[in-house]
Amino acid sequence: MRFPRFFTKKRGHRRTDSHAWGSFAEGLFYALLVAAGVVFGLLLVTGAVTYAPADPDSVVLQRGYEWWMWLLTLLIPVALLAFGGSGLVRVVRTWGKSQEHRAAASRTVILDGLAGPAPAVPGHPGVPSCDNLENSPGIVLRYRLPLESPENWTLVGLGLFALLWNAVVVVLAVGVGADLVGGTTDWFLIGLLVPFVAVGVGGVVLFVRATVLSTSVGPTHVEISDHPLVPGMSYDVRLGQGGAHLFRSIDLGLELEETATFRQGTDTRTQRLVVRRVPVSRWQRVQPVPGGSFEARVAVTIPTDAMHSFSSENNAVQWRIVVRALPDRWPEFTRVFPVVVVPVKAVATTASPEAVESLE
């Protein structure tokens, strides 16, 4: 048996550090947690301190803990034992097994996974599930696609920020007001209050502006005749754009976006990159019907050489229908409707297991 080397070589971009040392260090870490849990628990149960601090001359023979106090006290050692024990079992179970062996046992293994597992379309490994995209029927066409708009998240974020910040401002203001009513003036607190109020007012203004922007241009609806989509096939898409204003232009197209999640130092980052744009239709000088909305129906063809949708824990390739509109008096906005593209049906087989047996 040869002792494993501590430092190893790199091969391209692939990680090739010593798995033996890595597993050993991981096992040692979990073993230490278990040991800490055992020691901590024994100390608590047996009692390391057997005298009363208030009366050092007296020996304590029995301590009057309630049952809930015991539970609370044992919470930390039990958590250490559970975490360390489960980790130790996992290290022992995977010890000496190759990457493929471990992956085969769990069908898919994620190396240092950063996100949760992605459910797949049955019969299409790696293709993300489209359950959430098909649970809303359309008015005219079969499905109404859900909206995935980053503007909505910005709106929620601004609203939360304005709410929390101004709650702090109110607490400070109440303190300053109480001081003034009591006849004292805390200039430091007043000086602190001024920038806090300015930021709070700014937050409210930004939130109101974002709300007005998202509501004034009206909602966008997209319906599709079928789902999931297949390369080379055409689908009817119905666009509905609400709003009382004139739109200088409205563009509808397909986009393919790659998403990669990676660690950078201690941070987890996600990069998104649009690698393919397929323009479908463009309308100019659009004036929705007063009280109604602009309606259009177009055919969208998925390119025959399109990559199918793919999703694993840290990587994804996603297709989406994108609507970009430029209102006459408002900034341009983008609304995204994800879709799932499945691969073209498998071809007929060209060999069989019997043919392989004959080779052996």
The set of residues, in sequence order, having a beta carbon less than 8 Å from that of 191 and lying 6+ positions away, is none
Binds another protein (CB under 8 A): choice among 78, 110, 193, 204: 110
Q: Give 241 or 312: the residue with its C-beta nearer to another protein.
A: 312
Q: Give 3 or 187: the residue with its C-beta nearer to another protein.
A: 3
Q: Which of the residues 262 through 291 are near another protein (CB under 8 A)?
A: 262-263, 271, 273-277
Binds another protein (CB under 8 A): choice among 41, 44, 85, 108: 108
The two structure tokens encoding residue 186:
């805390």
CB atoms within 10 A of CB 340: 23
Range list of β-strands (E), 287-344 = 293-301, 310-311, 315-327, 333-339
* Minimal distance, residue 13 CB to another protein, in Å: 7
The span from the first CA to the last CA of the chain, in angstroms, equals: 34
Binds another protein (CB under 8 A): choice among 103, 173, 176, 280: 103
Q: Which of the residues 286 through 345 are near another protein (CB under 8 A)?
A: 305-308, 310, 312-317, 342-345
Radius of gyration for the alpha carbons in the chain, expressed in angstroms and rounded? 31
In degrees and rounded to multiples of 5, residue 228 shows phi and psi of -75, 170
**Is residue 104 a contact point for another protein (CB under 8 A)?**
yes
**Is residue 139 a contact point for another protein (CB under 8 A)?**
no
Could you give the 3-state DSSP secondary structure of residue 355? helix
Q: Which stretch binds another protein (CB under 8 A): 104-112, 147-155, 222-230, 321-329?
A: 104-112
Cα four-point dihedral sign 134, 135, 139, 142: positive
Binds another protein (CB under 8 A): choice among 31, 109, 172, 190: 109
Q: Which of the residues 224 through 263 are near another protein (CB under 8 A)?
A: 256, 258-263
Q: Do 52 and 102 form a contact (C-beta atoms < 8 A)?
A: no
Binds another protein (CB under 8 A): choice among 22, 47, 113, 137: 113
The full DSSP string for 254-297 is: EEEEEEEEEEETTEEEEEEEEEEEEEEEEEEEE-PPTTSEEEEE
Binds another protein (CB under 8 A): choice among 46, 62, 184, 349: 349
**Is residue 25 a contact point for another protein (CB under 8 A)?**
no
